[in-house]
Amino acid sequence: MKSVIFLVDMESFYASIEVARRPEYKGKALVVSGDPNRRSGVILAASKEAKYYGVKNAERLWEAKQKCNQLIIVPPHMQDYIEVSMEITSILKTYTDLVEPYSIDEQFMDVTNSQRLFGSPLEIAKRVQTQIWNQCGVRARVGIGENKILAKLACDHFAKKNAEGIYELKADQLQDTLWPLPVEDLFGVGSQMKRHLYDRGIRTIGQLAATKVEFFKKRWGIHGQVLWMNAHGVDYSPVKISTHDGQKAIGHGMTLPYDYAEKADIHIVLLELCEEVCQRARKNHVHGSTVSLSVSGASYEIRTGFHRQFTMPYATNAALTIYKHLCQLLDQFWDGKPVRRLGISLSSLSDGDSVQLDLFEHKQQQENRELGEAMDLIKARFGKTALLRASSLLPAGQARERAAKIGGHYK
């Protein structure tokens, strides 16, 4: 029996939830957007009525306003979106235990062995759509395929254009369905890869598929081979519930409320990000030996900044230790120009219960570990802002603001 995989995608997820909560918004051009005064005025979701005017996700709010002067702007309510996403997961699990969340509004399902109970793939897809609509007020689109990449491509490029919101993409029909599409429509092809492919005369997915895989392997390694496999609808990864187990890195980043030009101000946010990353590392009982720092410049037109990493002498999840090395990276690679965004990560993770001792700093290691664990206990009991470093109380500090948010947006 061939596998039957679904990708269930929520239509305009955030916007749909806001309309479900406020019926007076039904049929109106609505967008969910961050606060424009804090430079987070980016469209997170747009209703189909807003999209009619050309409003797109990820564009800046002022651009969307120029397209539609009657635009209704709603701030994000991230906690509500997370709760609805979890409710949808529960719905999907009534059809199969193999449900894999891909993002907050997309989830894979393996319904291969569910057909005897619930009918054909098309019948199951319709039942899923109906149940999600009745319980959550959100319309779902379903891509169907023999594997995850076919289901993803079916959903992204065909189910969204289908009145039913359901489409099955078959491997033996790719030449007539998928291959005529522009190469940038292939999953995994970003703007930079698009430019590389266009420079080589590869403009459609079919042209990519017709190129020998050795060309992609030689030029882009594993990523190139995966692109070639995607174009041929080949994917061996199963739907599994443990996708996010055993993560390879822990990171945090933020767009600053204004351009930071002083190194002292950047240091404050770096230390706050270190605290967040290390708290997550301790919660997951891991520590890491490689730290990475990403800095984005203030200009959108001329890209400046850098991404660099450093391997420490020993693995740790102590914020001050990681902070010290990140400051060194900043000193070495920052060009002194205003900074718009900062991001850090801790990788090369290992078991946090085993500790590599340092001959000269063993006592300091022990103190840092005990301090971090004590801070975690206090924050878990009394809240994230119950204990802050004094630097976070300075004007550049963002810890109190971030504590009120989920994923960079207010709960």
**Beta bridge mates, 32:** 45, 74
Whole-number Å distance between alpha carbons of 45 and 42: 9
Q: Which candidate, 253, 269, 282, places its Cα nearest to that of 408?
A: 253
- Tell me the domain boundaries of the chain: 13-77, 175-231, 249-410
DSSP structural state of residue 90: H
- The single residue listed with the structure tokens 């019948």 is 123
Helix/strand/coil for 164: coil
- The reply to whether 59 belongs to the active site is no
* Residue 167 pLDDT grade (very low, low, confident, very high; cuts 50, 70, 90): very high
245 vs 42, higher pLDDT: 42
Contacts made by residues 95-101, CB under 8 angstroms, sequence distance 24+ = 95/124, 95/127, 95/128, 97/241, 98/238, 98/239, 98/240, 98/241, 99/239, 99/241, 100/239, 100/240, 100/241, 100/243, 101/243, 101/244
- pLDDT on residue 349: 86
245 carries a ligand binding annotation:
no
Express each pLDDT in 90-135 by its tens digit.
999 999 999 999 989 999 999 999 999 999 999 999 999 999 999 9
Percent of the chain as helix, strand, coil, to the nearest 5: 45, 25, 30
% of the chain with per-residue pLDDT over 90: 61
Mean pLDDT computed over 194-209: 95
CA distance 72 to 264: 39
What gap in Å lies between CA 4 and CA 151, rounded to an integer? 9
* pLDDT at residue 172, as a whole number: 92
Q: What is the pLDDT of residues 213-236, one digit of tens each?
A: 999 999 999 999 999 999 999 999
The CATH number, out of the four listed (3.30.460.10, 3.30.1490.100, 3.40.640.10, 3.40.50.460), of the domain defined by the range 249-410:
3.30.1490.100
Question: What percent of the chain is modeled with pLDDT above 70?
Answer: 91
Angstrom distances, CA of residue 320 to CA of 268, 288, 327, 365, 393: 12, 14, 10, 10, 18
Q: Which of 18, 49, 100, 106 is catalytic?
A: 106
- Range with the poorest average pLDDT among 112-121, 256-265, 292-301, 396-405: 396-405
CATH number of 175-231: 1.10.150.20
Candidate CATH numbers 3.90.1150.10, 2.30.110.10, 3.40.1170.60, 3.30.930.10; the one for domain 13-77 = 3.40.1170.60
331 annotated as a binding-site residue: no
Q: Is 290 exposed, middle or buried (0-12, 13-18, 19+ CB in 10 A)?
A: middle
